[in-house]
Structure 1
Amino acid sequence: MNSRLDLVIAGGGFAGLGLAIALKAELGADFEVAVVDPVLGRAPPHDARASAIAAGARRFFERLGVWDSVRAESQPILDMVVTDSRVDDPIRPTFLTFGGDVEPGEPFGHMVENRLLLDALATRAAALGVRLVGSGASVARYAVEGGGVTAFLSTGETLAARLIAAADGGRSRLREQAGIAMYGWDYGQSGIVTTVAHERDHEGRAEEHFLPAGPFAILPLTGRRSSLVWTERTAEAERIVALDDAGFHAELERRFGLRLGEISVIGARAAFPLAMRIARSFVADRLVLVGDAAHIVHPIAGQGLNLGIRDAAALAECIIDAATLGLDIGAPDVLARYQRWRRFDTVSMGLVTDGLNRLFSNDLDPLRLVRDVGLGLVERLPMAKRFFIKEAAGLSGSVPRLMQ
């Protein structure tokens, strides 16, 4: 195929599919979008991972018409507690709690299994007429030609468009081709993810235990299940993941505690290295970066996915405004508006998550005292807690229209 499109999106994840749906829903059949991802059109692999969808991102998915498809299988986060302790401490005192809604009847977040939301997004995209190019195809490279861009697929086919969006992950091939450097550092930590079943109901409560090696997050899923994001030093994480089932369970139980009764691991376990990386530029000639292709942050605040959704909503708004006025959606001023909007927000969030990780991932007594006093002060200041809830919900600052 050698088709003329308005936009080609490399990557069919949350941000890529969300961007495509938003543009088709707002601009109609005359706006042509293609999403290229090798897994589209294939039977989805078993993936037990789940994601925390902040209130702003959930509003975005509601506007796209996909949230109703997953609402019944999503778990509202109704409450959150934060502790600071050592692994073997017999008691983990609660220093900070977050409860209530961002708006009446609207929780500040939901937990959703990735496969359910991705299936809903792909179904909605197809229904709106987004061209889904999958079955092993990927964007191998691109070339700017005159007033447009050509995407060369791994299958030998080509797609011509006015703009290409790289939503192809942290190892973005298109970002590398554009010569856009990534700046940041490795943490020497890895995040262990798995799913557990437990004897008692979690009642919609999320828990964040700050342990010396890093945060141990227990995130509620539907039923008596929880998703874990467990941070350890990389060598220790590799050792724990390689243990037999009994050994892994013993290490898990030391950190999980007994509040929810007996626990059992019901999902695959894996460890992922953690880093902070931010692209030197979010745009190039006829190219724009979205999601992990533009930034990777520490999962300590659960904001990585939600930053990507905010990218998609902001870019959609920039493109919609330009297209409505009959302007070139790939023009430098359109892309510059997106970069000004998103890069400051991303750098700010990256520095916040980096600072939190450095403050809490250690066992120095003076720092423990400082952070515990700080958490206690926030606990006693309702206005401060409200501010942090709005931040975590993705509803502070310049919020894209599609997230309002």
Structure 2
Amino acid sequence: MSSHSDILIVGAGPAGLSFAAELAGSGLSVTLIERSPLAVLQNPPYDGREIALTHLSREIMQRLGMWQLIPEDEIYPLRDAKVLNGHSDYQLHFPQPTEARGEPADCLGYLVSNHNIRKAAYGVVSQLDNITILTDTAVKEVKTSDDEAQVVLENGDILTARLLLAADSRFSQTRRQLGISSDMHDYSRTMFVGRMKHTLSNQHTAYECFHYGRTIALLPLEEYITNTVITVDADKTDTIKALSNEELAAMVKAQLKGRLGDMEVVSTFHNYPLVGMLAQRFYSKRSALIGDAAVGMHPVTAHGFNLGLSSADTLAKLVLEAEKNGQDIGSAKLLERYNSKHMLHAHPMYHGTNMLLKLFTNETAPAKLLRGLVLRASNNFPPLKKLITKQLTG
């Protein structure tokens, strides 16, 4: 069997679904191809990850109708953020802003569970007449020509389109088949994530604690419940996995010096190997990369989904403009414009994050000294602090 759409998207994760939602009412036909079952898209399971959303991301999600589908009591304000280094109590503080994107603001951003974002994105797209979602469907091969993009499914069906998008994770096989190389960086670390209850208020303040030997990030949800992110060297993974909930809570309490009081695990904990990825370019013939297929960020800056949503928004606007003007939505000129625009955001963020990690996970004596100096310099140089705050708010 063969069928034709205007656009094919491999991967119905948040980026792929967000791009499809952008095309509501456009008249463009879109087919999403997803390996997961329909039930997983409809009700994604909790996976431990809380996503820090910027004000810009909130604006985009509101415009697409996604924000409105997230339960109000599961959108948590992130008031301010602090960074600690080693054994020192000195803090780099990013205070509560008075404005963001030219509007009054009372928080740096918002924390929303990954599964709620995915569910909301599917909720919007599932109601659109111009969108077809193929679930339980695997891709065997993709190829492109001057005239069209083609996807061969494992069941033998052939799908064609004017434009093909890869949105199938940082390990994208679609990207590989399109001949786009990538810079893959294995951080040799594992991240453990889940929720903890505590006896002292988190004040809706996020903490990034670069302790020696491991890193702990605290993302405030309810006043006495915090998403706890523990990052350790890969060779310590099994040691953390072997801990009981009580032992894990005691370890975190000790490492935080009792900052949040007594700790208690109140959710399942999940672990992920940390691998970063930056594609050499974000397009090929009649094809483009969005989301994690374009850039897979280390979670330390909490900007992965914001960057993925931005890629979908940037490309969708170019496609809609081209369609409105009767132009080719898969032209090299359009895709080159997308590539240039997204590179301006992605490159500095990806390489800047890696530089930050290289410094704050280096435990040689000179690096420890430099780490402390960087925090103090950042705290006492208002232009730099303002620039970083702008990045945090979007």
Verify same fold: TM over 0.5.
yes
Q: CA deviation at 1:193?
A: 1.5
Q: CA deviation at 1:285?
A: 1.3
Could you tell me how far apart the structure 2 residues matched to 1:146 and 1:381 are? 52
Could you tell me how far apart the structure 2 residues matched to 1:129 and 1:269 are? 38
Give the match for residue 34 of structure 2. 37
Could you tell me how far apart the structure 1 residues matched to 2:383 and 2:13 are? 36
Q: CA deviation at 1:347?
A: 1.9
Could you tell me how far apart the structure 2 residues matched to 1:227 and 1:160 are? 43
Unaligned runs of 5+ in 1: 395-404
Q: How does 1:2-401 map to 2 (within 5 A)?
A: 2-24=2-24, 28-39=25-36, 41-43=38-40, 44-47=43-46, 48-70=48-70, 72=72, 73-86=74-87, 92-100=89-97, 101-102=99-100, 103-105=103-105, 107-144=107-144, 147-222=147-222, 224-394=224-394
Opposite residue 97 of structure 1, the aligned amino acid is F
Report if aligned partners of 1:212, 1:360 keep a CA contact under 8 Å in 2. no
Could you tell me how far apart the structure 2 residues matched to 1:312 and 1:106 are? 27
When residues 4 and 235 of structure 1 are mapped into structure 2, their CA distance, relative to the original with a 3 A threshold, is: same
When residues 146 and 84 of structure 1 are mapped into structure 2, their CA distance, relative to the original with a 3 A threshold, is: closer
Q: CA deviation at 1:224?
A: 2.7
TM-score (norm 1): 0.89
Output one character per residue of 1:47-87: Cα deviation in whole Å (capped at 9) or x when no partner. Answer: 1422111222111111112112226121010111111123x
Could you tell me how far apart the structure 1 residues matched to 2:66 and 2:277 are? 30
Could you tell me how far apart the structure 1 residues matched to 2:37 and 2:18 are? 14
When residues 127 and 82 of structure 1 are mapped into structure 2, their CA distance, relative to the original with a 3 A threshold, is: same
Q: Helix, strand or coil: the match of 1:39?
A: coil
Stretch of structure 1 that moved more, 123-132 or 313-322 = 123-132
TM-score (norm 2): 0.91
Opposite residue 306 of structure 1, the aligned amino acid is N
Could you tell me how far apart the structure 2 residues matched to 1:45 and 1:122 are? 10
Q: CA deviation at 1:341?
A: 1.3
When residues 107 and 326 of structure 1 are mapped into structure 2, their CA distance, relative to the original with a 3 A threshold, is: farther
Q: Helix, strand or coil: the match of 1:271?
A: strand
Report if aligned partners of 2:81, 2:95 keep a CA contact under 8 Å in 1. yes
User: What is the total number of aligned residue pairs between the two structures?
Assistant: 387
Could you tell me how far apart the structure 1 residues matched to 2:71 and 2:109 are? 12
Q: CA deviation at 1:157?
A: 3.1
Q: CA deviation at 1:23?
A: 1.8
Report if aligned partners of 2:27, 2:130 keep a CA contact under 8 Å in 1. no
Report if aligned partners of 1:19, 1:316 keep a CA contact under 8 Å in 2. yes
Report if aligned partners of 2:203, 2:223 keep a CA contact under 8 Å in 1. no
Q: CA deviation at 1:316?
A: 1.0
When residues 132 and 108 of structure 1 are mapped into structure 2, their CA distance, relative to the original with a 3 A threshold, is: farther
Could you tell me how far apart the structure 1 residues matched to 2:346 and 2:264 are? 37
Could you tell me how far apart the structure 1 residues matched to 2:199 and 2:168 are? 39
Report if aligned partners of 1:214, 1:360 keep a CA contact under 8 Å in 2. no
Report if aligned partners of 1:144, 1:150 keep a CA contact under 8 Å in 2. yes
Q: Helix, strand or coil: the match of 1:81?
A: strand
Opposite residue 76 of structure 2, the aligned amino acid is Q
Could you tell me how far apart the structure 2 residues matched to 1:342 and 1:163 are? 18
Report if aligned partners of 1:55, 1:107 keep a CA contact under 8 Å in 2. no
Could you tell me how far apart the structure 1 residues matched to 2:189 and 2:3 are? 44
Unaligned runs of 5+ in 2: none
Report if aligned partners of 2:189, 2:232 keep a CA contact under 8 Å in 1. yes
Opposite residue 225 of structure 2, the aligned amino acid is R
Output one character per residue of 1:108-140: Cα deviation in whole Å (capped at 9) or x when no partner. Answer: 311101111211111111222243424411333
Could you tell me how far apart the structure 2 residues matched to 1:92 and 1:273 are? 29
Give the match for residue 402 of structure 1. none
Could you tell me how far apart the structure 1 residues matched to 2:27 and 2:311 are? 23
When residues 214 and 335 of structure 1 are mapped into structure 2, their CA distance, relative to the original with a 3 A threshold, is: farther
Opposite residue 385 of structure 1, the aligned amino acid is K
Could you tell me how far apart the structure 2 residues matched to 1:378 and 1:331 are? 44
Output one character per residue of 1:341-369: Cα deviation in whole Å (capped at 9) or x when no partner. Answer: 11243221111011100111123333333
Q: Helix, strand or coil: the match of 2:95?
A: strand
Q: Percent identity among equivalent residues? A: 28
Output one character per residue of 1:14-42: Cα deviation in whole Å (capped at 9) or x when no partner. Answer: 11111110122xxx251111222133521
Could you tell me how far apart the structure 2 residues matched to 1:375 and 1:62 are? 35
Output one character per residue of 1:260-292: Cα deviation in whole Å (capped at 9) or x when no partner. Answer: 222111222233222332112211111111111
Could you tell me how far apart the structure 1 residues matched to 2:44 and 2:280 are? 34
Opposite residue 3 of structure 2, the aligned amino acid is S
Q: CA deviation at 1:207?
A: 0.8
